[in-house]
Amino acid sequence: MDMDHEPYCDFRMTVRLEIPNKPGEFARLAEVFAAEGANLGAIDIVDVKPERMTRDITFDAQSEAHAQRVVEQLRKLPDVRVRSASDRVFLAHLGGKIATKAKIPVKTRNALSTVYTPGVARVCQAIAADRDKAFAFTTRANSVAVVSDGSAILGLGNLGPEAAMPVMEGKIMLLKEFADIDGWPLCLATQNSDEIVATVKAIAPSFGAINLEDISSPRCFEIEKRLKEELDIPVMHDDQHGTAVVLLAGLINALKVVGKEMQSIKVVVNGLGAAGTACCRMLLVATVKGRWSIRLARIWKLHAAISEAASVSTSQLLRCATFYEARTCSLEYRWAIC
């Protein structure tokens, strides 16, 4: 599937149609696509017989429902058979997006004896004598566990561990393609912080680093903090730190483009969850190191009391922030970081 040399559409469908092999038949199909507002793409001939022809036609739709409506209209055409309708996004995910691959071909008895028993026993004994050798003689040094509980998947919310798998596979593809790091998806069937910490600690000897992903706020703060304290390998929460790094890099470059200085801008952070809190902290660090004067405003409304998530997020920034206004009548709080 060549996805690199064509405009992207989130709802791109390919329909395989069997139609009469005579002039004017494709025109009937084109009329349906035009009437439904679908954008025609690739058109391929799959099979030709004296009486019938099979074509693959790719089109872009506005939504999943729109794509289904186009297919239904095609089904209604006389003497036209819709043999299949495939969604490009789902095709790309069919069977998963990642796989393991052996570094050494196992085609002879000697090769088998070297990579497995009896040869591997000597390596096991060497690592038992010096556990740090696991970083040299296994994949550990280049392996990252991508861990999620499925509680905050993208902008979709709490969908569970199985629904988190496509995102974790996608993250692992990025690690491999852009940094040649091997990742392993671990989607946990628990959203209990203690259980997540215990599970990650138990599997940590197999990995060189832990990447927490799509774990909801405020639990993500506690889980990351505890794992950093209790493990001797790097731990990061991508929703926090990955977002914050990109934000600061984009802000620095954007200011260069528009010719503005950091001290002349105001940054408004709309949302103080995992990503918003980490972005604030990153800007604070950048302010100190760069001696910039950044005014960072965050506004949120409270109902009866500050929610748990807001309380935890606020505590992350409290030592750096100056409370400058409180309107108790509307229960609105403002934070300014200068």
How far are the Cα atoms of 72, 228, 321 from residue 35, in angstroms, in the given order?
Answer: 13, 58, 57
How far are the Cα atoms of 14, 58, 88, 316, 334 from residue 61, in angstroms, in the given order?
Answer: 11, 10, 12, 44, 43
289 is catalytic: no
Maximum distance among all Cα pairs of the chain, rounded to whole angstroms: 81
Beta carbons of 91 and 16 less than 8 angstroms apart: no
Give the C-alpha separation, 69 to 26, whole Å: 19
- Strand pairing partners for 45? 55
Tokens of 232: 């001797």
Handedness of CA 38, 44, 48, 54 (dihedral sign): negative
H helices present in 99-192, as ranges: 109-115, 119-129, 134-137, 161-179
Beta carbons of 221 and 274 less than 8 angstroms apart: yes
324 is catalytic: no
Give the C-alpha separation, 332 to 301, whole Å: 5
Give the C-alpha separation, 184 to 144, whole Å: 6
Catalytic residue among 116, 176, 225, 324: 116
Token pair 């206004």 is found at 325
Q: What residues act catalytically? A: 116, 171
